[in-house]
Structure 1
Amino acid sequence: MSVHDELTSVQRCLDDLSRSVGRLEQQLGSDGLEMRRVRADADHLRESVALLRDAASGSGQPRRPELVTIPDTPYDSALWTDSDDEGLGARDRHAP
């Protein structure tokens, strides 16, 4: 099966789950903590599958991270004035 077919199958199962949870809510009431948790979990599953569907529909190829250009110009030396406080040691001393 293709990814699209699998996601469609999962969506159908989630629809069945949602209907079953709705029937349980009618029989047991929706005030109990357990029922609210089951409803929340079913909703989270639905949201997760929707995110997965969006990711799968846009992924013919894996996403490449954006490239960040790092300039060749030297850094401003004022950025390193507090380096003694960061355990790098003082400029005029050597390590033992």
Structure 2
Amino acid sequence: MSLHDDLTSVQRRLDDLMRCVARLDEHAGDSLDMRRVRADAGHLRESLHLLQDSVPITAGNRTVEMVSIPDAPYDRGLWTDAEDEGLGSPHRHAP
């Protein structure tokens, strides 16, 4: 299974858990233990969303925009008055 498939599977099971917690809440009422179970299930949901957001985007899961880079050389005018990084101005000597 791919990572995307695993995350989808966990999401489905978490949705089932949330439904079961809601049904259990109807029977158990508003007790301290039930509030703790609801809070823990909510934390699981939040953690899964954070994990899904942190997973790198792959071409199979989402569209990736291709950027073409021309083979032609850059215009030398773009670099006018630019200093070479680490060397300073062309009028000065490197240390």
- TM-score band (shorter)? 0.5 to 0.7
- Seen in structure 2, the aligned counterparts of structure 1 residues 59 and 48 have a Cα distance that, compared at 3 Å, is farther
Confirm or deny that 1:24 pairs with 2:33: no
Q: How does 1:32-43 map to 2 (within 5 A)?
A: 32-43=31-42
How far apart in 2 are the matches of 1:25 and 1:16? 14
Query: TM-score normalized by structure 1?
Result: 0.58
Query: TM-score normalized by structure 2?
Result: 0.58
Cα displacement (A) at 1:57: 3.8
Q: How does 1:8-87 map to 2 (within 5 A)?
A: 8-29=8-29, 31-58=30-57
Cα displacement (A) at 1:58: 4.4
How far apart in 1 are the matches of 2:35 and 2:28? 11
How far apart in 1 are the matches of 2:52 and 2:46? 10
* Moved >4 Å (runs of 4+): none
How far apart in 1 are the matches of 2:53 and 2:31? 33
How far apart in 2 are the matches of 1:59 and 1:45? 24
Please give the secondary structure, in 2, of the residue aligned with 1:14: helix
- Count residues with an aligned counterpart: 59
Higher helix share: 1
Q: Could you give the per-residue CA deviations for residues 3-37 of structure 1, whole angstroms, max 9, x where no partner exists?
A: 110000000000000000000000111x2010000
Cα displacement (A) at 1:51: 0.3
Please give the secondary structure, in 1, of the residue aligned with 2:55: helix
- Greater RCO structure (CA 8 Å; 6+ sep): 1
Please give the secondary structure, in 1, of the residue aligned with 2:45: helix
Paired-residue identity, %: 63
